[in-house]
Chains A and B, each alone.
Chain A
Amino acid sequence: MRILVVEDEPDTSRYVCNGLAEAGHAVTCSANGLDGLHQALNESWDLIIVDRLLPGGVDGLSIISKLRDLGKRTPALIVSALTSTDERVRGLRHGGDDYISKPFAFAELLARVEALLRRAHPTHVTRQLQVADLTLDTGTFQVARGAIPIALQPRELRLLAYLMRNEGQVVTRTMLLEAVWDCHFDPQTNVIDVQISRLRSKVDKGFSPALIHTIRGVGYLLGERT
């Protein structure tokens, strides 16, 4: 995938660009707002990552606003050291698709990048979710491993559905909090880990293969691992 990174801080820029390149993306880096705006408008990208504050008279938000004004729907991820929730809301209001605050772990950034890329190329929506022998019917809320039905609480259903929709992809704790519990803040405890381990005990315990995997320092992944 072609990704444009507009970031003025050299260390962060290298961190992000190298990481994305290692993950198999074609990355172009731009160090100031004006160049970034030119490249964003004149070339075609699968995703744009912009820093909120940029030199060159054009900040991250105005790059995104310009794109949206011209009718381009290119997914945009805002990276910023301005952490307050206000900034997040403002970023999303200007047409950003996601927001991540500095300092961040690269794994968190990558997971969000992958999620945005997937969202831009949706697979067709199905009622029946299936990973290996695990099935979830979003109409009847029936969950089963093979022929054995599994009883889940409503919120666990929602969590499992989210993981299954992102099959094979890493999802971070923050992404789960936002998508499943609608929490746009960090409770800063291990609540998510505990929720996952309870879900795991219901979905994986006594079944093979195990489907829910912990990715150390990043988050979780649901899928068949070879």
Chain B
Amino acid sequence: MPVRTLDNSIATRLALGNGALLVVLILVTSGVFYFGTVGVLDRSMDGKIISISNRLHDTYGAQPTAELVREINNELTDGIDSDTEIFLVSSPSGQRVVGNLSTWPPADTPTGRLVNREVIRDGRPSSARLIVRPLPNGGLLYVGRDLSEQRAIRALVWHALEAAAAVSLVLVVIGAWLLRHQIERRISGIRSTAREIEAGNLDRRISISGDDEFARLGLDINRMLDRIEQLMNGVRHVSNAIAHDLRTPLGRVRARLDEALRRETTVAELTDAARTAIDGIDDLILVFNKLLQIAEAESGMRAEHMGLVDLNRIVHDMGELYDAAAEERSVRLSVGGQSAVWTHGDHDLLASAVGSLIDNAIKYAGPGASVELTARSEAQRVCILVRDNGPGVAPAELPRLTERFYRVDRARSQPGNGLGLAIVSAIAKLHGGELQLFDAGPGLCASILLPRPSASPLERAPEATTAPPPAALAHLSHR
């Protein structure tokens, strides 16, 4: 494999790393095997040589040479290891007395320890491992073993290890290639999808097979792409809506001013035109502010203002803010719930969300309707409910209510800009919750579901007493 791919392919690096580990494993196994077989044989042979030489030397060294000669002849003819045994007794003058060597190591060979030497045994040259012991009569005793059998075993073990190593190396290389190929195949799917998306096909998704790491990564990426596509669609929708909802009033203001300038107008008419223009622009600013508010909530910038807030308190406060408006439209606004309902959030945003829902309910439920407002704790979460018994909304329209600029009233005859619920939804999402809208039969029920705070709030928020309003009186003293 070219060196270049080492730097830029994690698959290759992984495969090579794996291969290196395997090679180390093979080396260790071979080492243990080698020393467990050949090593043991060597040691046992050494032990035998030493014990035989000790026996011969100690038992027969002090006795007449004839005893030793008979014993050695016995050893050589007893049929036990006779084909490998080496014995030799030389006289002080260096002549062979008894033994199966015709050429043996010179007399200056170190005595008393095992050495390897080339000898000629029974007329055949061979390698031998032997020990030389001086005898009391001045002669030398040679005891040893022929090494050719040992060598053959050693060679056999080596061959076996070499073969095993070669096969493993081939397997390592094939394994590395397979691993790399597998990873690249999985990744190339993701990459080609990414390239297609980059080229503008936003609806492309990674094909998922199995349930491995890549499949899970693919699922995560697909979810992210869904979200991005949804946001892109939102932006597209907003641009269309801006074209209509902002350009139209701008055009109206412009026309009005233009007309006021062109005609022969009185000062009163000019003033009137200016005033209308200002009102129109104020409405536009309002829409801009709402759009900004949504963007702000969606970008999640306000996390630093999060703290523990009592939803029950917010619901009561907002109820008091809107009670006059409800009264004016003959809507009965009732606020339920007395105990504190804690959540972690931004007080102002949550209050404006609740205000927005109450405003909607009063506006669309119509005269004579009643609107109920409650904050309550559930097992896993807390929620704010705003329920009216007005005409409600067709079930098919419910999911679209939170879209920016979406309005049930297509003719746009009712006041409003179609941003209220989009803001409430964005605020709920910012808090890790959601806005749910459902048919209350009759009427509409809007509910903001939020997560429960993690720690016990009563310990962390001692200053916020659970006493519900009317705490308003306390504020009467000078600010």
Contacts and interface: CB of A to CB of B under 8 A. Distances in A.
A86 B324 contact: no
Interface string A169-192: 000000000010111111111110
B67 interface: no
Measured as residues with beta carbon below 8 angstroms from the partner, the interface class of chain B is 35 or more
Nearest to A165: B478
Interface in B134-178: none
Interface in B345-403: 348-349, 351-352, 355-356, 359
A85 interface: yes
B348 A183 contact: yes
B296 A157 contact: no
A85 B302 contact: yes
Interface in A74-102: 83-86, 89
B289 interface: yes
A154 interface: yes
A165 B305 CA distance: 31
A198 interface: yes
B352 A187 contact: yes
29 contacts: A84-B301, A85-B296, A85-B302, A86-B304, A86-B305, A105-B282, A125-B478, A141-B473, A154-B472, A155-B321, A157-B472, A158-B475, A181-B320, A181-B321, A182-B317, A183-B348, A183-B352, A183-B355, A186-B289, A187-B352, A187-B359, A188-B286, A188-B290, A191-B322, A191-B325, A191-B359, A194-B324, A194-B325, A195-B325
A109 interface: no
A171 to B, nearest CB: 13
Given A83-B289, A85-B348, A154 B470 contact: yes
B95 interface: no
Interface residues of A, number: 34
Contact of A181 (B278, B317, B477): B317
Nearest to B292: A83
A179 B320 CA distance: 14
Interface in B271-294: 275, 278, 282, 285-286, 289-290, 292
Contacts of B317: 181-182
Contacts of A186: 289
Given A187-B359, A188-B289, 4 more contacts: A153-B320, A155-B472, A181-B321, A184-B348
A191 B447 CA distance: 22
Contact of A183 (B285, B351, B470, B477): B351
A191 B324 contact: yes
Contacts of B292: 83-84
A157 B349 CA distance: 26
A206 interface: no
Contacts of A89: 305
Interface of A: 83-86, 89, 103, 105, 125, 138, 141, 153-155, 157-158, 161, 165, 179, 181-191, 194-195, 197-198, 217
B351 A138 contact: no
Nearest to A85: B348
Interface string B457-479: 00000000000011011011111
A103 B355 CA distance: 24
A161 B325 contact: no
A187 B472 contact: no
B328 interface: yes
B327 A161 contact: no
B351 A185 contact: yes
B321 A154 contact: no
A185 B305 CA distance: 14
- Chain B interface helix/strand/loop/mixed: helix
A87 B455 CA distance: 29
Contacts of B289: 83, 186, 188
A157 B348 contact: no
Contact of A103 (B285, B290, B302, B305): B285
Contacts of A125: 478
Given A154-B469, A182-B317, A86 B301 contact: yes
Contacts of B475: 158
A97 B284 CA distance: 28
Nearest 3 Cβ contacts at the A-B interface: A154-B472, A154-B470, A198-B324
Interface in B319-349: 320-322, 324-325, 327-328, 348-349
B420 to A, nearest CB: 9
A162 to B, nearest CB: 8
Contacts of B478: 125, 138, 165
A29 to B, nearest CB: 24
Contacts of A181: 317, 320-321
A27 B289 CA distance: 30
A178 to B, nearest CB: 10
Given A83-B292, A125-B478, A157-B472, A191 B321 contact: yes
A201 B82 CA distance: 134
A185 B301 contact: no
Contacts of A153: 320, 470
Interface string B26-39: 00000000000000
Interface string B91-104: 00000000000000
A143 B70 CA distance: 143
Most chain A beta-carbon neighbours within 10 Å: one of B275, B289, B324: B324
Nearest to B415: A189
Given A103-B285, A138-B476, A155 B325 contact: no
